[in-house]
Structure 1
Amino acid sequence: MALTLQLFPIWAILFSTIAFAFPQYFIGLKGMIVPLLMMIMLTMGLTLTLKDFSRATQNKKAILIGVLLQFSVMPILAFLLAKGMEFDTPSLIGMVLVGTVAGGTASNVLCYLAKGDVALSITMTAISTLLGVALTPLLTTLLIGELVDIPMMDMLISLLKIVLLPVAVGVMLNRYCHKLITKSLPVLPLLSMFAIVVIIAVVVALNQSKLATIGLFVMLAVVLHNGIGLLLGYFISKRLGCSEQVCRTIAFEVGMQNSGLAVALAMKFFTPSAAVAGSLFSIWHNVSGSVLASHWQKSPPSNNKSNELK
């Protein structure tokens, strides 16, 4: 898994370059974005058990902090960055979608590399993913509903199909076909990586003519959004009395977004231009997260036991 994550940015950049040079080979795959994302969510479900959700009762404080930061800091920050940089409407929509979706599954691998609390990371990702089914359309409507017509109920129904259903199927398969699923676990990160790389390539191909003009500005916003999210996730949780190990975990949960979902929602309900932010975030957050995880890996937490109230 660690090697897969390290190679992800390379493959994403390679396929993005090919898609930019030869968009005709990827444009026809536009209809595959939602099915590919459903496959990613299914692989996430296959790695989860019902016990992962019950772990929420073991560290309520950390999970509450992570979820609150996830659905407050990231959406508001995305909106402020897009408005401050005077993005056009599609780019504004794209940034807000990146900010309002749940945490990304890559955070679990990065947490492991950074010697964080992996069980807590998995639990937080699962909980934020489920909450995001309702909160993503709600927050998007609250932030830009006056500027853009947000199909809130349609988004909610789509999120139930794209996110909740595949995750639930994955959890059930893991429960009743556990031995078979265990054998397939090493392949799941590869499947997820392949799916995200293809999604990014398709978005690049669809936006080839526009990337030259909007790409750099959106990339800057994405870098700031991710970086500030990581910093606030770490230092706010530290300020609130969490252990070093938990602070690292929350940092990744807050700073890493399910940008593949943001891309799918942008493509389904808005325009290909609105999917640029999610595509760039998919590449960048794995680069920045890998660098941060590598740094933290060299300095293990002195005390792995959480010191906060349960």
Structure 2
Amino acid sequence: MDKVEQFGRWIGRWFTVLVVLWAAFNYFLPQTSLWVVPNTSYLLGIILFGMGLTLRLEDFERIFRRPVPVLAGTVAHYVIMPTLAWVLCLIFQLKGATAAGVILVGSCPSGTSSSVMAYLAGGDVALDVSIETLSTLLAPLALPGLLLLFAGKYVAIPTTALFVSTLEIVLLPIILGVVIHSIFGRKIEKVTKALPLVSQVAILLIIGAVIAANHANLFTSATALVIPVVILHNLSGYGLGYLFSRIIRLRDPQRKAITFEVGMQDSSLGATLAMKYFAPAAAIPSTIFSIWHNISGSVLSSYWRNKTKTKTSVNAAPAAIDSKN
């Protein structure tokens, strides 16, 4: 199990590079992952079941002990990202399934990799996990409602089917994971060490499936604007999330957590639902988002980490001088 854990850490360290390489590989050899296309919902269920296995009752208690920052971050996520997606669709005049795909990824709960980015940046990981948990639990209601509000003019929104699917794909696996963790306790901890690797492999498989299903239409005039839209969506989410956290006067670690929680989406969920309920083109924004937010999140977390180290070194220097005097 130690070797599996070490391999998972290695995959995590190079995950962004692996995502880009795997996406390129499936673009040129789409037959590699076509078998995954009908199974993406099962893969996402595995990812979220793993998330449930890592959750404890304390994670839910924390939401009630510190409700203000958790609720504020969750509301900010579900207000900022869908609205940004809708505004960008208007500005860039996106239509049909492409516009619906942008709004779909904007309406998803927080991304599972945000807690990793918050940890690397020196953010409040506990707050990050709490917001991620709450936003995911609210997804069955929030996601169909936001799609109906913002994307209804682009495509028909099967709200009831989306609600049921989100319950089945998102909520049930998490609840099952939490229940199993509660029953078996520490006995399950050996298994949880392999979960990051399982989740990363599942995400790669979903990305490969979406690329394979869309390889003929990935770089066409109809989808050419998706890349800048996705980049602007993610970066604006970071900026507005950070601004919001400053306005409500949160501490620096909390600002970092909310920044990542607002700006990073569960793009795997977006891609899975797009493939199931909309045209294949609707999954392209989620796939590009999955690749891009791993890149931008890594850069931002590195910047904050280096900034913290620099500040610590500057503050330590006068102290060292004073100790000598």
TM-score (norm: length of structure 2): 0.89
1:69 maps to what in 2?
76
Contact 2:31 2:212 (8 Å CA) reproduced: yes
Paired positions, count = 303
State which of 107, 115, 121 in structure 1 corresponds to 2:114: 107
Q: Check if 1:253 corresponds to 2:261.
A: yes
Contact 2:97 2:155 (8 Å CA) reproduced: no
Partner of 1:149: 156
Aligned residue type for 2:257: T
Q: Which residue of 2 aligns with 1:279?
A: 287
1:267 and 2:275 aligned: yes
Q: Does residue 163 of structure 1 match 2:170?
A: yes
Q: Any unmatched runs of 5+ in structure 2?
A: 1-7, 313-325
Equivalent position of 2:61 in the other structure: 54
Runs (4 or more) in structure 1 with deviation over 4 Å come to: none
Partner of 1:181 in structure 2? 188
CA–CA distance in structure 1, aligned partners of residues 277 and 223 of structure 2: 21
AA aligned opposite 2:231: V
| Aligned amino acid, residue 241 of structure 1 | R
1:185, distance to aligned residue in structure 2 (A): 2.5
Change in CA separation of 1:283 and 1:174 when aligned onto 2, cut-off 3 Å? same
SS of the equivalent of 2:22 reads helix
- The letter for the 2-side match of 1:233 is G
The AA in structure 2 aligned to 1:297 is R
Q: Report the TM-score when normalising by structure 1.
A: 0.93
Q: SS at the partner of 2:217? A: helix
- Residue deviations 1:45-75 (CA, integer Å, cap 9, x gap): 1111121011012322211221111111100
Distance 1:180 1:79 in 2: 46
**Distance between the aligned counterparts of 1:283 and 1:253, measured in 2?**
17
Contact 1:5 1:286 in 2 (8 A): no
Paired residues of 1:6 and 1:290 also in contact (CA < 8 A): no
Taking a change above 3 Å as real, the CA distance of residues 116 and 3 of structure 1, as seen in their structure-2 partners, is farther
User: Relative to 1, partners in 2 of residues 1:246 and 1:3: Cα closer, same or farther, differing over 3 Å?
Assistant: farther
In 2, distance between residues paired with 1:189 and 1:134?
27
Displacement after TM superposition at 1:299 (Å): 3.3
Q: What's 2:241 paired with? A: 233
Per the alignment, residue 129 of structure 2 pairs with 122
The question of whether the paired residues in 2 share the 8 Å contact of 1:45 and 1:170 is answered with yes
Structure 1: gaps (5+ residues): 304-310
Distance 1:215 1:44 in 2: 33
Give the stretch that moved more between structures: 173-182 or 97-106: 173-182
Name the SS for the 2:295 alignment partner. Answer: helix
1:215 CA displacement: 4.8
